[in-house]
Chain A
Amino acid sequence: MQSEIPGDATSDAARWAGLIEAITVRRDREAFAALFRYFAPRIKTFMQRSGASEQSADELAQEALLVVWSKAALFDPASVGAAAWIFTIARNLRIDALRRQKRTPTHDTSEAELEFRLDEGPQPDAGVRASQIEGRVRDALSVLPDEQLRVIELSFFQERAHAEIARTLDIPLGTVKSRLRLAMARLRGLLDDFS
């Protein structure tokens, strides 16, 4: 597996956020094309690794970029990073697509999108800036040992995530779980003061 966390992530993140805002402010087609060129081919990989055929991965990647275009105004750079926002769009489309395979849709709204709207109950969210979370996540990922990083990356794909990761990496299921726990504990340690 040759994926890697991009090196100059800070400037990328700011540039992507700027492109999304250019779509909101002036329906900027150049900005859209730039986002398409970077993200569509990667969303396609994401979908294929999640089990989609080449053709439907292509369609889902296009659909994701259409959502980026039509919902750009909902992007709030203060609360979420650009890549994370696009990730949630792709994730939700993947869930909806998997469900469409299993049954006839009764309507075509995104159910997954609704299901990921997090209600704030009695404890409101601490107003943490996205750039802070992004920075911490980037730092945390950069210090993770490679084997923990790979477990984390793979956990974003398969449905039967842990068992498949174990098979793919040819390690016992218990090892996957302990690596994931270690990696999560580390991430959580870095994020603790946000809550």
Chain B
Amino acid sequence: MTVHHHPPDELLAAFAAGVLDLGQHIAVATHLVGCATCRAAVRAIEHVGGAVLAGLPPSAMSDGALEALERRLDEPVRVADAPARPRARGFTDVPGLPSFLDGYPGSSWKWIAPKVHLRPIRLAEPSATRVFLLKSSPGTKMIDHTHTGFEMTCVLSGSFVHAGGHFGPGDFDFGDGSVDHDVTIDSAEDCICLVAMQGDLKLNGLIGRLLQPLIRM
């Protein structure tokens, strides 16, 4: 798998710094599953984080903090390693997703438009970003649309094409309000993507405006 489209560097930096909301985090983490280049970039930024942390001016710790901690060192370690979440196995049937999604509650495909199905990923964490899987059949032309917020799309299988290029497995597409999306699925198989989206879709053209009230993504 060769990845051609990567998240912008600022997004990778925000990911490694830990300042993305969970929905955005999932979209970037999905890209990282398939992209060793960006994993290396994230690790490098974590090293920048280490240098930043080590260079911060110290703030005096409360009196006796070290002694209090030293008394706790022999306490049995609370095992925080294994997830206590129910083994929901929510998305194990979809290859290419980050493994922490395995613990999420599953969901099934819902029809949202001709040849397009959607599977929501419900976050335990309140997030301004909605995350879902989108499955489109070969040849589907998505209705011409723009976004009021941003949209991050990571291709899991199949491929699509729009004015910004051709997007196959592992590729990451970052769109904001300025991008007019006229998307066509050009693979012989279904195209499955993970999408993280803020704001709403705005459908363009007469048919789009007629359909707008019917499509709630």
Query: Which of B3, B52, B82 is close to A156, meaning CB atoms less than 8 Å apart?
Result: B52
User: For this complex, into which size category does the number of interface residues on chain A fall?
Assistant: 35 or more
Cβ contact of A86, chosen from B44, B50, B60, cutoff 8 A: B50
Minimum distance in angstroms from B167 CB to a CB of chain A = 16
Q: Mostly helix, strand, loop or mixed at chain A's interface? A: helix
Shortest CB distance B212–A (Å): 30
When the two chains form their complex, are residues B19 and A82 in contact, meaning their CB atoms are under 8 A apart? no
Contact of B44 among A115, A153, A156, A187 (CB under 8 A): A187
Does A3 lie at the interface of the complex (its beta carbon under 8 Å from any beta carbon of B)?
yes
Convert A20-46 into 0s and 1s, putting 1 for each residue whose CB lies closer than 8 angstroms to a CB of B: 000000010100110011111111111
Instruction: Tell me if A128 and B32 are in contact (CB < 8 A).
Output: no
Choice from B33, B46, B55, B78 contacting A4 with Cβ under 8 Å:
B55
Given contact pairs A125-B40, A153-B52, A156-B49, A108 touches B80 in the complex (Cβ within 8 A): yes
Cα A58 to Cα B61 in complex, Å, equals 6
Partner among A46, A58, A106, A107 whose Cβ is within 8 Å of the Cβ of B56: A46
Q: Is the CB of B36 within 8 A of A3?
A: no
Chain A residues lying within 8 Å of B58, measured Cβ to Cβ, are 41-42, 44-45
Size range of the chain B interface in the assembly: 35 or more
Q: Does A80 contact B (CB under 8 A)?
A: yes
Say yes or no: A45 contacts B59, CB within 8 Å. Answer: yes
| A9 CB to nearest B CB, Å | 7
Q: Tell me the bound Cα distance from A84 to B49 in angstroms.
A: 6
Kindly identify which residue among B14, B54, B73 contacts A42, using a CB–CB cutoff of 8 Å.
Answer: B54
A39 to B69, CA, bound (A): 14
Residues of B within 8 A of A (CB): 1, 3, 8-10, 12-14, 17-19, 22, 25, 29, 32-37, 39-62, 65-66, 68-70, 72-73, 77-78, 80-85, 96, 98-100, 103, 124-126, 170
